[in-house]
Amino acid sequence: MTRAHIFVGTHHKAGTVWMVSTFRLLAQDNGLGFVHLNKIDHSWKIDSKKQEFFEQHRRVVEKRDDRPGVFFDYHSAFPDLSACKQDRGAKGLHMVRDPRDMLASGVRYHLKSDEAWLHVPDKRWGGMTFCEKLGSYESYEDQLKFELDTAMGNSIKKMANFDDQGVFRNVRYEDLIVDYDMLLFHELLSWLGLEGIEVVRGLRAYWRKSLFGEKGKALGKDQLHVHSGAPAQWRTGLSDAALNMIEERVGEEIVKLGYPLS
């Protein structure tokens, strides 16, 4: 009996590097096809071509054998999966994170990262780059406002309004980052349809790529993607004024995602 394909969706500063490395290794160790949809072809960025693009790569995976493939998208911008659901089945994980921690992480990362899009001159800001514009604000609160008006605000709204298509299950970053005994991830792998030794290999991949596992031992805290995995950092890291400003703008999204307001 063929098993459902596996889908994993994240959002910027919501466990993307962690999940793509975990599921890539999981697929590799289990001999499953792994498709990083954002990295293959420019067509994935064009909404009108997403459906055709996905089906093309689904066929490639299915020609290998009857085992499931793993499809990853770091914007969680999946096309209609109805055909896949009907033909073979589909199950997915959608990573969510407290928007207040996402914002703080976004400011910190965007001020230091060398990602190309952060360093492209933009006429909206008089020729300044995103990184330069963000750094031009003297106060942290103004930097947070800028992120809300641009990159991180967009990510938060997309995360809160994600269509699960009857396929995806929301998984909180905050729950996984303290899943030291890996009981939650074990349950998720079983729910996704992995069996026997596949689950064991998946847990090994998770341990190797997690900050509480081998990844944390291998990386120094000066690594850009490594700051602190602790949940609810906003409680001590953001001022009352900053929290009020954030919750006035995206309070509805915070509540919709299941997080309490301050």
Q: Which of 18, 45, 12 is nearest to 155 (CA)?
A: 12
DSSP 106-166: HHHHHHH---GGGGS--GGGTT--HHHHHHH-SSHHHHHHHHHHSHHHHHHHHHHT---TT
What predicted TM-score, i.e. pTM, was given to this entire model? 0.92
Q: Which tokens hold the place of 44?
A: 């994935």
Residues of the chain with pLDDT under 50: 221-222, 224-225
* Dmax (CA) of the chain: 60
Spell 43-64 as b/e; 16+ CB within 10 A means b.
ebeeeeebeebbeebbeebbee
Note the pLDDT of residue 146: 98
Top CATH class of 5-97+159-218 equals alpha beta
For residue 36, what pLDDT is reported? 95
- Sign of the C-alpha dihedral, residues 112, 117, 122, 127? positive
Residue 15 confidence (pLDDT)? 95
Tokens 């001022």 found at: 239
| Integer Cα distance of 103 and 234 in angstroms | 9
- Residue 41: per-residue pLDDT: 64
The whole-number pLDDT of residue 169 equals 98
Residue ranges of the chain assigned to CATH 3.40.50: 5-97+159-218
Residue 227 is predicted with a pLDDT of 56
Alpha helices in the chain (DSSP H): 16-30, 37-40, 47-64, 82-87, 99-112, 130-136, 140-149, 151-160, 173-176, 183-192, 197-209, 214-218, 234-237, 240-256
**What does the radius of gyration of the chain's CA atoms come to, in whole angstroms?**
19
pLDDT of residue 43: 59
Burial profile 225-237: b = 16 or more Cβ within 10 angstroms, e = fewer: eeeebebebbeeb
